[in-house]
Amino acid sequence: MYVSAIIAAGGRGRRFGAAEPKQLLTVGGRPILERSVSVFLSHPSVHEVVVALPRELIDDPPAFLRSAKAFALHGPRKPLRIVAGGARRQDSVANGFRAASAASDVIVIHDAARPFATADLIARTIAAAAESGAALAALPARDTVKQAASGELVVAQTLPRDSIFLAQTPQAFRRSVLEDALRLADDVTDEASLAERAGHRVRLVKGEASNIKITTPEDLPIAEAIAEATDRSAEAFARRGAESPSPEREGFSRAGTGYDLHRLVAGRPLVIGGVTVPSDVGALGHSDADVVCHAITDAILGAASLGDIGAHFPDADPRWKDASSLDLLARAARMVAEQGLEVGNVDVTVVLERPKIRDHVDAMRHAVAKALAIDAERVSIKGKTNEGVDAVGRGEAIAAHAIALIRAR
């Protein structure tokens, strides 16, 4: 499951009244925005982070967003994109949504002004949205809630407290649910309200009292106190971590498989593993129809749980028409590297009746290895016929099976 996080930091914090955007103020010595972004950058369930910033900050984003080093402590590196915020909160979220990977299954949205959401709260919200479609963190009301008559400071009614929850963020959505919600594009203070209005069930996840929203200067002393308490326990946790390194991370490796088949027709080049093999027929396809590159691309994306080749390089997209499949493979390898992972080895079987590929295998291994940025001895390519059986055996198609091992760098 691929998860994208959108941090809504596009507002100027008018209620705050400070000269600089409130998300750049520091609490406990760190900017509010850095705190809200870093918990997602270091989160094991989140694959990419999109930050919607006020337009005036886009050209000169804060240093901590520019410097990947600031997050080096937080485990695997992952894509961090910066987009311009819009006039309203949901415009910022919509801009973030457009910049997020087309492969994301779940999108989690968070207010930059809530710097203390824990990794556990984020994980529970993502899990509930993956299961139910939409979910938000919310706190049960502790005070008795009175509803006032409209325009007057007179109680119209007392609401039953046990059914009142105060909405927080994170809020998470399956991709299709968020698409429906953003299509409504009404002026609201959270995306969950849009999802409700679009007719989706929205699950409540138990929020955290410390997950406060910093809205006015009166909130700052409370934020300082929370920062002091959470930073102290985070330091203690980091010290314990340094003493006993995580067994999950150590020796971490994962396998993925890929398969591809293309028809063979006259008048097309036969490109296999980046090498054009002399042949009277070639593979039919939108790109160069290189089954070896396509199968390996799927294998490494699969091993990293990053979706598949069709999600990242859809053949309906004119950008990938006649694309070199070696180039697509290199792009997929960079996506894997951005997760802090590297390709250990790949092994491929090409199923093709004729011509024989034996004389070209070394050139293919070197071309594929270069795209993957690894040594050629870690790339294996083997040829096979289908003994005259089925369409591949009759020479009407070429197929490839690939397996890849990836591991933490």
Q: Which residue is nearest to Mg ion (CB)?
A: 294
Q: Cβ 310 to Mg ion, closest distance in Å?
A: 9
- Nearer to Mg ion by Cβ, of 124 and 294: the residue is 294
Q: Which two tokens stand for residue 113?
A: 């002004």
Q: How far is the CB of 398 from Mg ion (least distance, A)?
A: 10
Min. distance of Cβ 260 from Mg ion in angstroms?
4
Minimum CB separation of residue 291 from Mg ion in Å reads 6
Pick 78 or 294: Cβ nearer Mg ion = 294
Decide whether 51 or 309 has the Cβ nearer to Mg ion.
309
User: What's the min distance (Å) between Cβ of 47 and Mg ion?
Assistant: 24
Q: Which residues bind Mg ion (CB under 5 A)?
A: 260, 294
Between 25 and 284, name the residue whose CB sits nearer to Mg ion.
284
CB of 347 to Mg ion, least distance (A): 18
Give every CB contact of residue 153 below 8 A, 6+ residues apart in sequence: none
